Structure 1
């Protein structure tokens, strides 16, 4: 992204984990900008998946960049999740919402269309700089135009197309085309599943070997306590006690993340 404030060399040498902890503590925009630069590759990868779908790549890229900023602001390093797993649903969600909202239905003057693009870009840069959504007067000042012109372009951008949700987009040669319905900006149903899987993986890594066997056999392999007791050479009561202990640990860990 352009106009990213430069951080100190010392900050740039920190690991991603250290930077996330530092940003969580300070909310320093310079720290966030370093993280933005390091993870822009995710924006590039995800944006390219939506090329030739009716909206210019530059616009998609800018929207995805906003999604990355949102993800960095929301990410909690203490939960132990991978940032890339956390950020992807957020970025894709922003892109899908943009596809849902954009598309000129009437002939709008070229100057209005161009100003609308500049406004979208200004929103990204001002959001990044000030850490809050910009107001109309902020955008007007940034672009060197009047508030009336900004409002005119923003209002004109609501001239959306009325098209079928079953409309197919060519999927760059893939066998299956993408329907407009698939690009709707609904809440990603897989987001919670990703969080849950990350939480379980982090929790299991904190258990000892016997505890891991019990939780996997009981809840993933559908084995009875008696079966597990025979394999471990212990009583069923011992397995039952250990299972209760594991569940108690699980509840305690979950309380930390909700």
Structure 2
């Protein structure tokens, strides 16, 4: 067990010195914890890039923190690159994987999820280039797939983030608030009454 003086000495070291010690002794938890604490700023910066996309920041921060630990465990300073350069794609990769595997409210095939991402990127790029919303045909040509696949990806996007039935939508008048549930048809009892009436008339006239 390390005494407090050794921990204090670790705190006075820079990251390179700490990684050199940790690479030789992976059981040194004091050094690992210091490295984690010093590099959590990376998780904070990268996780903030994905907020407001249907996931709480705390969840993203937790996923990113675990990814940071993986990066610290695998980092090889002898390769010559900075730790931040190594850890960044690891953290981003885990966050994106979390979105793919956990966030979708319906089970959507990975192929469709990946295509949905390409479709959204193409929509944004084409809209910026042409100053108008692209058509399905234009998106399909840009990505290099069939229009049916684009439509499938767009439809699957509803499984990514559900929409509340109480969500307001554009109504016929600006003064009238219309929700999604107002646009959903309900059961029409008069149709059943017509069927019953027709049945009774045929039965009586026999």
Which structure ranks higher in relative contact order (CA pairs < 8 Å, sequence separation ≥ 6)?
1
Q: With structure 2 as the length reference, what TM-score do the two structures score? A: 0.50
